[in-house]
Amino acid sequence: MAAERRSWRRPTAFRRREFTWAAYLGLAAFFLWSAWGVGADPSRIASGLGRGLTLLGDFFPPEATPRQARRIADKMVESVAMAMVSTVTGIAISVPVAFMAAENLSPKPLYYLNRGFISLSRALNAIIVAILVVKAVGLGPLAGVITITFKTVGFFAKLLAEDLEDIDMGSVDAVRATGASPIQTLVYGVVPQIIPRFAGLSVYRWDINIRTSTIVGIVGAGGIGSVLLTAFNRYAYQYVTAILIAIIAVVLVAEGVSAVVRRRYQ
């Protein structure tokens, strides 16, 4: 029916095909430049691998004296306790922060303030935060709890705020229209819409916090990490392996619990 055949090609994100290729080339160049910059040359990788394998022999079999085993257990309990406490405090702080960081519920200045706080918490790695907090409050699990609480707020408040921004405002309007007070509107119109996600996120964050709590000890913020560091410093590699196995076991259990609970709330 048409005299002239028309051609069609999928439009590209970069508008012109040349730009697409230029972008891919640029990306490849950036990768090569970075690899060269960090000194990742193949011969070094090969020799490192060889040394790594010899070293691996020193790590097995895992071994811990009864005193060391007790120390692992004590510090592991401390890690888990730190994770538990900071999950609760972190979420308690996250809730108001999330409401203030939800664009549809919060006035602009408050919104930016809380978004800023969330970005700060997300920008800093737990270890960096822990170093700063240890400087401020000294060595020990308190520093760990403060660190993990701070990190929890960045994660939890951000995701909760995004959920709050997605709620159906129509049902909130309907609750308001009955003459409900702002608190009641929150309880009946807003909270039911976010409860399932809230529960899922809490457990998920708890499992992340268990992982974090095993590492912040490296810089003195309490938990099993400190034991790991001393073991490494004394070249007690078989002891290190025992510690790592304990960490892996606890993290796996936490992840399993978290997965089961989250599936329940879907």
Partner 1 sequence: MTLDVTGLRKVYPTGDEALKGVDVSVGGSETTAMIGPSGAGKSTFIRCINRLTEPTEGSIELDGTDLTGLDDDGLREARRDIGMIFQEYNLVERLTVMENVLTGRLGYVSGWQAFRRSFPPDDVERAYEILERVGLGEMEDKRVDELSGGQRQRVGIARAVVQQPTILLVDEPTSSLDPETSNTVMRLLTEIAAEREIPVLINIHEVDLATEYADRIVGLHDGEVVFDGPPDDLHDGALDRVYRGGDPPESDAPPADETAASDSSVGSEPGGERASADGVVSPDGGTTDRPGPGEP
Sites of contact with partner 1 (CB under 8 A): 168, 170-171, 173-181, 183-184, 187-189, 192-193, 195-196
10 Å Cβ neighbour count for 257? 14
User: Given the complex with partner 1, which of 180 and 244 has the nearer CB atom?
Assistant: 180
- Answer yes or no: are the C-beta atoms of 204 and 262 closer than 8 Å: yes
**Is-contact 86 149, C-beta < 8 A?**
yes
Q: Where are the alpha helices (DSSP H) in the chain?
A: 17-37, 42-59, 66-100, 108-123, 126-137, 141-165, 169-177, 182-185, 191-213, 225-233, 237-265
Instruction: Give the span between the Cα atoms of 128 and 120, in whole angstroms.
Output: 12
Q: Judged by CB, which is closer to partner 1: 63, or 163?
A: 163
Both tokens assigned to 34: 């970075």
CB of 195 to partner 1, least distance (A): 7
For partner 1, which is the closer residue by CB, 145 or 190?
A: 190
CB of 108 to partner 1, least distance (A): 14
Min separation Cβ 183 and partner 1, Å: 4
CB 16, min distance to partner 1, A: 35
Residue 53 or 183: which CB sits closer to partner 1? 183
